[in-house]
Structure 1
């Protein structure tokens, strides 16, 4: 049987449309207190499903989207019903078994299903390690049959690799990916090639900016729509209005060549990436004018000349900084609400600074490791404006080794732990002036060095890396750091 170009299997049991209907506009419609009638909303989704768009994506914070979708799913037998993806986006904090199960069970109740087709997890700051606790409990619920497949959302390449190395069965990662934001084509796609994880791409049309409507138009001075405000920030970060217009001109010319729309070209470019399973398009409840045009993406393919024209336009832009998901965690904050520093600063630190008895000039931090009281040391100590962080391994909680056998993944976890140790003492990774790396096997220098470079590439502290022979337990690497807080 010939595979359909508009369908793909995320797992042997989960076939989806390659154009997934995103329901974020439900939250926008309901933002002023209005509530969509669930059955009326379900009627609108049923029209999409009938037209072939039978896969829906939502989140716990998309208004009543889960409830509306639950009404739709109740109209079908389990075998032939539409597919529903949702996201759980908790505030960072302890992820106990009870907290995780309550979060997942709420999704089950709102969707009115016994098993969630794909549950995607978002975490605000990797300095708080409880994201792994949440994923392990969700993995257990998957094995119980309450979750069909596990995904992530807005997770960078390093932390996707870390989750996989720690034994989590991830099938997808939902990230921004477009002609403007091409970050996902780099390290993240390489991790996907190694692991088989697929990308679900959102922002593919940049909130409507990748369409003929904006070709040759002057730069807007005010934007009221929250989605368009977000993607205008991406355009600015990519070099501004003229490089963006160069991309529009190239895509428009390609569209005329293939007798399709500029938006079709933008979507097709993303869908042709091997790592991409599907793109997510906005579902306008009660509107259908874009459905036929969206299906055109499966009626043509980009050739070498098309890619050359787009690459020439890309060369005029500035790459979006960082990796996928960084826009939610560090400047520049390319989000709908803009600067998120106030939100991130309000997240409680996983560790607490305590005074050293009899030494008013000193503070110290403990990570709760079983080794600290046995050996008599602190995770980190601040003396004046200096912070000294002890040799740190990938120890999660009291005594669990994270990602056994994977030096690069362990280094990623360690550097998050060092950042978390600095924070309650008033320090940041930008304050680090020296690091020392101890390897069990010198042959693992490259993945560890790359993890170090991702964090410190703009800081450039003094560094020493040595092979130390066997480390205690299953640890592949240990890292210590010194910071000066000016």
Structure 2
């Protein structure tokens, strides 16, 4: 097993700096064979990538993890099985948030994941006008004190609401937000708040669903549903359009490729390392196409991107910034992190 760098969250849980994202099994990226998905997870663990990110709304993600976790333990007697870190999300529709409602949701996740406590619960809320998110977080904090949850975290919360939550004495370990060389909104004000409050950023969209790769270098702009055939590609193509369009994006890809050649790595490695080096970023979530052809093919890139041997220079960063500073201001266009889900 490779030695993958880890980061310690506020409650003591250590997670890999590259996390295995399981959104791709939700159904929005095509049909998934659950048994093949379970089998595909082993390659990540063998490589030392032992942290999996999922959600109660990601289709069978929690069940797939649970089956793999159970099989892994059965193959190793006693406590010899590799330790896994499982981060899930609690994404309720706004409604009553009594403790029994919150407890029931967590019990469902634990049953699916086949665990007796949750390493990390990342809470998401759709509508800030409905203040019952504070009630839910209060119950989650109590359940953390009771030992049901180790780390209490957030997903797609903006800086202002994070300030409101922490001011009530609720300890937050991390916030999962979109962050890439294209979407740098967390740098505007969230990073500073997180650094001051010992909150790690766990980032997604860092490779823009695969658009930040050699596959799209020099390629004509994809516009049809056939070309943008996954939820990720469709989502992040819209982000690129808002950021500056396909022509500027191609200039960015050329620059990233030039940097990658200097470091004898892939363009995706450079894009990932760029975000890993940002203040307050604890880890980057890289999507795993578990159960489909080609699953696991990006493991080498994930390992290289978090290796201490890959160090972006001042020259590298200046070249990237020469392109990104010509883009539009996404904070002005979209708002703070997560605002795209509340427009």
* TM-score scaled by length of structure 2: 0.90
Distance in 1, matches of 2:52 and 2:102, equals 23
Match for residue 224 of structure 1? 229
Match for residue 66 of structure 1? 62
Match for residue 191 of structure 1? 193
- Aligned pairs for 1:77-476 (under 5 A) are 77=79, 80-222=82-224, 223-285=228-290, 287-297=295-305, 298=307, 299-320=309-330, 321=333, 322-330=335-343
Q: Note if contact 2:11-2:150 (Cα within 8 Å) is conserved in structure 1.
A: no
SS in structure 1 of the partner of residue 41 of structure 2: helix
Whose Rg is larger? 1
Distance in 2, matches of 1:238 and 1:51, equals 35
Match for residue 376 of structure 1? none
Distance in 2, matches of 1:293 and 1:266, equals 11
Q: 1:134 to 1:142 in 2, by over 3 A?
A: same
Establish whether residue 52 from structure 1 lines up as the match of residue 54 from structure 2: no
Q: 1:24 to 1:14 in 2, by over 3 A?
A: same
Q: Note if contact 2:10-2:199 (Cα within 8 Å) is conserved in structure 1.
A: no
Could you tell me how far 1:13 is from its partner in structure 2? 3.0
SS in structure 1 of the partner of residue 223 of structure 2: coil
Could you tell me how far 1:28 is from its partner in structure 2? 2.4
Runs (4+) of structure 1 exceeding 4 A deviation are 29-32
Could you tell me how far 1:131 is from its partner in structure 2? 0.2
Aligned residues: 324
Distance in 2, matches of 1:16 and 1:139, equals 21
Match for residue 13 of structure 1? 12
Distance in 2, matches of 1:172 and 1:71, equals 26
Q: Note if contact 1:60-1:66 (Cα within 8 Å) is conserved in structure 2.
A: yes
Q: 1:166 to 1:205 in 2, by over 3 A?
A: same
Name structure 2 gaps, 5 residues minimum.
74-78
Q: 1:282 to 1:30 in 2, by over 3 A?
A: closer
* TM-score scaled by length of structure 1: 0.64
Could you tell me how far 1:273 is from its partner in structure 2? 0.9
CA RMSD of aligned residues (A): 1.7
Question: In proportion to residue count, which structure has more strand?
Answer: 1
Name structure 1 gaps, 5 residues minimum.
331-486
SS in structure 1 of the partner of residue 34 of structure 2: coil
Could you tell me how far 1:168 is from its partner in structure 2? 1.0
Distance in 2, matches of 1:78 and 1:168, equals 35
SS in structure 2 of the partner of residue 125 of structure 1: coil
Distance in 2, matches of 1:207 and 1:31, equals 14
Q: Note if contact 1:181-1:319 (Cα within 8 Å) is conserved in structure 2.
A: no
Distance in 1, matches of 2:104 and 2:33, equals 24
Q: Note if contact 2:203-2:283 (Cα within 8 Å) is conserved in structure 1.
A: yes
SS in structure 1 of the partner of residue 9 of structure 2: strand
Q: 1:78 to 1:185 in 2, by over 3 A?
A: farther
Q: 1:95 to 1:19 in 2, by over 3 A?
A: same
1:1-41 residue CA offsets vs partner (Å, 9 max, x unmatched): xxx77211114631111110001111127866x6623xx43
